[in-house]
Amino acid sequence: MPEASPTKWHRAHTSWLFETVLLKNFLARYQDYDPAYAFLFNSYYEGIGARFTRPDRGLLSRPSGEQILKYRGHVDAGIETLITELDESNWAEFTALLDLALNHEQQHQELLLTDIKHLLSRNPTFPAYRDDLLETSASEAPPLGWNDFEGGVMEIGHGGDDFAFDCEGPRHKIYQDPYRLASRLVTNGEYLAFIEDGGYSDYRHWLWLGRSAVAEGGWEAPLYWQKTEDGWQEFSLGGLRPLNLAAPVCHVSFLEADAYARWAGHRLPTEAEWEIAAEPLAPAGNLLEFGNLHPTPVQNSGPLSQMFGDVWEWTQSPFVPYPGFRPTEGAVAEYNGKFMASQLVLRGGSCVTPPGHIRATYRNFFYPPDRWQFSGFRLASDG
């Protein structure tokens, strides 16, 4: 699909960013591995130069995967040399950009798996990315509970000295009305009840953009669900599996999440409501380190379960700048700021988010109809 990229492009692009923002800026004698790579593997940085069109990346049969591996080796060697030779006066600027490049690569480790999953799902034989992935047996989800949060003047956004993307700050005050947040994510079984109640055909639950997406896309269920003679199945990175009714629903768009919430008599949380609830919690859960590569049912039920990992959680908040936001200066000024229009915020990470990459202030963002990411949701209501 136009939004996805081949595996070798992800590997080359992450190498290109290290080369572009670090080696070319700080290592005077650095020589390009191949000048053409600046055109082939620039994603969207117009200030850096021209770039190959995104929808056509799958047509790049050359350079080969082997050549990309050699390119990465060349870049890695350059970074190692730079670390040993860098002038102390440049160290602070260098390490700030190195942190960004490393976190950028973690983003692409996740994107790489979502793109592989979509590609394999288009094969009618439904091949598995890995055939040794755990299949969680169906179990009953704990009853949905509710957590009450008081209103008042509060602070959200990143304000510490540790790494965060520019769009996560600055930390600022907001006024928050009292609200309630569900104890866990919405499950496949609960979403199936919405489907069986005619949810996709009942206009009363849908925004107009959602009705259009359902009609144009022929949506009848979440992406990767298959209705077979043996019942509902779901395509995963482990191949086609029986739908686990207790696991969180996954690969739904904001439009589907919003329609379900209306059908259930609730709503989606704002990003501030989500962050206020998540801030005291450790950023741990079913992340990439566990190797499931798929959402799993609640393991340890508590007042707030699955806030981190399993699925990115849709919020109803638009991806816009916080008060006082200023884009990062220099070559990476275009990193997030240029996308602050027409997209919505997701929070919490997913089962393919690398460990150490997620925090309560992290703002992911996608367009309302997008559903190829590991995206799900939890319910909220007014207090």
* Residue range 314-338: mean pLDDT, rounded: 90
Q: Are residues 239 and 370 in the same domain?
A: yes
CA–CA gap between residue 314 and residue 252 (Å, rounded): 9
Asked whether residue 56 is assigned to any structural domain, the reply reads yes
In this structure, are 154 and 89 located in the same domain?
no
Q: pLDDT by residue (tens digit) across 45-100?
A: 998 999 999 999 999 999 999 999 999 999 999 999 999 999 999 999 999 999 99
Whether 36 maps to a domain, the answer reads: yes
Find out whether 177 and 383 touch, Cβ atoms under 8 Å.
Answer: yes
Computed over every residue of the chain, the mean pLDDT equals 95
Given a contact cutoff of 8 angstroms between Cβ atoms, the answer to whether 157 and 322 are in contact is: yes
Is residue 137 predicted with pLDDT exceeding 80?
no
In a shared domain, residues 157 and 114: no
**205-209-210 Cα angle (round to 5):** 40
Query: Does the structure show a pLDDT above 80 at 22?
Result: yes
Which helix (DSSP H) or strand (DSSP E) does residue 75 occupy?
A: helix 65-85
Residue 141 lies in a domain: no
39 and 178 share one domain: no
pLDDT above 80 (res 330): no
Do 103 and 177 fall within a single domain?
A: no
Q: Which helix (H) or strand (E) holds 277?
A: helix 271-278
- Buried b / exposed e over 255-286, threshold 16 CB at 10 Å, is bbbbbbbbbbebebbbbbbbbbbbeeeebebb
Residue of 299, 317, 81, 125 whose CA lies nearest to 226: 125
User: In terms of domains, do 150 and 97 share one?
Assistant: no
For residue 311, being part of any structural domain is answered with yes
Strand pairing class (179-182; 380-382)? antiparallel
Contact 220, 109 (CB under 8 A): no
Per the domain annotation, does 132 fall within a domain?
Answer: no
Q: What angle do CA 104, 106, 107 make, to 5 degrees?
A: 65
pLDDT at 142 over 80: yes
Tell me what pLDDT residue 138 has: 67
Residue 193 pLDDT > 80, yes or no?
Answer: yes
Mark which of 54, 87, 121 sits at the end of a domain: 121
Strand-strand pairing, 172-176 and 152-156: antiparallel
CA dihedral angle for residue 330, residue 332, residue 336, residue 337, rounded to 10 degrees: 20
Indicate if 369 and 330 belong to the same structural domain. yes
Could you give the CA distance from residue 121 to residue 237 in angstroms, rounded to a whole number? 9
Q: Examine the fold and report which residue of 83, 104, 121 is the final residue of a domain before the chain moves on.
A: 121
Instruction: Express each pLDDT in 341-360 by its tens digit.
Output: 999 999 999 999 999 999 99
Task: Look up the CATH number of the domain holding residue 222.
Answer: 3.90.1580.10
- Helices 7-18 and 91-121, axial angle in degrees (round to 10): 170
**Same domain, yes or no, for 197 and 55?**
no
In total, how many domains does the chain have? 2
Tokens at 165, concatenated: 């993307």
Which is more confident, 330 or 230?
A: 230
Q: Is residue 139 part of a domain?
A: no
Q: Are residues 296 and 373 in the same domain?
A: yes
DSSP states of 188-199: HHHHHHHHHTTT
For residues 133-138, give the mean pLDDT. 76
- Per DSSP, the three-state class of 187 is strand
List strand residue ranges (DSSP E) for 177-308, in order: 179-182, 225-228, 231-236, 239-242
Are both 85 and 32 inside the same structural domain? yes
Domain holding 102, by residue range, is 7-121
* The pLDDT of residue 383: 87
pLDDT level of residue 139 (50, 70, 90 thresholds): confident
| 310 shares a domain with 172 | yes
Report the distance separating Cα 320 and Cα 339, nearest Å.
9
The reported pTM is 0.96
CA distance 120 to 6: 12
Residues 113 and 230 placed together within one structural domain of the fold:
no
Residue 372 lies in a domain: yes
Dist CA 316 CA 344 (whole Å)? 7
For the chain, state the CA radius of gyration.
22
Q: Domain for residue 313, yes or no?
A: yes
Confidence of residue 134 (pLDDT cuts 50, 70, 90): confident
Domain's final residue, options 75, 104, 121: 121
